[in-house]
Structure 1
Amino acid sequence: MKNEIHKHLKFRIGEEQCKHEFELFYKEEYCCKKYCYEVYEFDKADNEHLFDLKIEEILLYYNADILTKIDYYFKPNLYTKLKVWIEQFIGIAYEQKFINNTYFCSWYVGRYFIILKRIMNNDQITLSYQKRKYI
């Protein structure tokens, strides 16, 4: 059941940047610990849905032209629905915490992490699918 979540994700960790190069807009360079990433915004996010929930924005993080992280942004009222959908595929989050006004739920799927983050008093929630836990 855990692997079925991949059927709903448009992007795959490990994909080369050239697969979507004409649909991406360069946003910034982001460095974390010893790695640097080129961050791109996906141009067609307006028409994208995940579990039938409308995606507001998609950011793709590339290291050496290889996709290592995807951030999906949603409206904050979808937090509970999104968490329930993920739990149906993966199970209960192995880590749930509240730090610095932010809720975190983390799941480990094979070699990758799915992290759902909701910052209080913010107009978006973030679902991250990533190779390393801290990017």
Structure 2
Amino acid sequence: MKNEIHKHLKFRIGEEQCKHEFKLFYKEEYCCKKYCYDVYEFDKVDSEQLFDLKVEKIMLYYNADVLTKIDYYFKPYLHTKLKVWIEQFIGVAYEQKLINNTYYCSWYIGKYYLILRKLEKEKRIVLSYQKRKKL
């Protein structure tokens, strides 16, 4: 079941930027530890969905023109639906914790993570898809 989740993900870690270059809007450079990333917002259509849930915004993180992380933004009321949907495919989150008023749920998918973040007072929740690393 874990591999079936990839059918629902529009982007793949390791894809080159040129695959989507005409649908990307540059936002900023983001540096973390020893790496810098070019962050782009994906120019989605209004009906963009992931797991049958409406996506508000998609941010793509590229390092040397290679996709390394994807953030999908959703309305906060979809948190429970999104978590249940992911658990149907992958199983119960291997880690759930509260850090600095942010609730995290994390799942392994092979050599990647899905991380669902919900800030207590934020107007969106974020689902990140990235290579394994610590929160």
Displaced runs of 4 or more, over 4 A: none
- Other-structure match for 2:131: 131
State the distance in 2 between where 1:28 and 1:91 align: 35
Gaps of 5+ in 1: none
User: Percent of aligned positions with the same letter in both sequences?
Assistant: 79
Kept after mapping to 2: 8 A contact 1:45/1:56: no
> TM-score, normalized by length of structure 1?
0.97
State the distance in 2 between where 1:51 and 1:71 align: 14
The Cα offsets for residues 8-35 of structure 1, whole Å up to 9 and x where unpaired, read as: 0000001000000000000000011111
- Other-structure match for 2:95: 95
Superposition CA RMSD, Å? 1.1
- Other-structure match for 2:115: 115
> TM-score, normalized by length of structure 2?
0.97
Amino acid of the structure 1 residue aligned with 2:49: H
Q: In the alignment, is residue 7 of structure 1 matched against residue 7 of structure 2?
A: yes
Q: In the alignment, is residue 73 of structure 1 matched against residue 73 of structure 2?
A: yes
Structure 1 pair 93/80, CA: closer, same or farther in 2 (3 Å)? same
User: How far did 1:46 drift?
Assistant: 2.6
The Cα offsets for residues 77-124 of structure 1, whole Å up to 9 and x where unpaired, read as: 000000000000000111000111110000111010100000001100
State the distance in 2 between where 1:134 and 1:67 align: 19
User: How far did 1:55 drift?
Assistant: 0.1
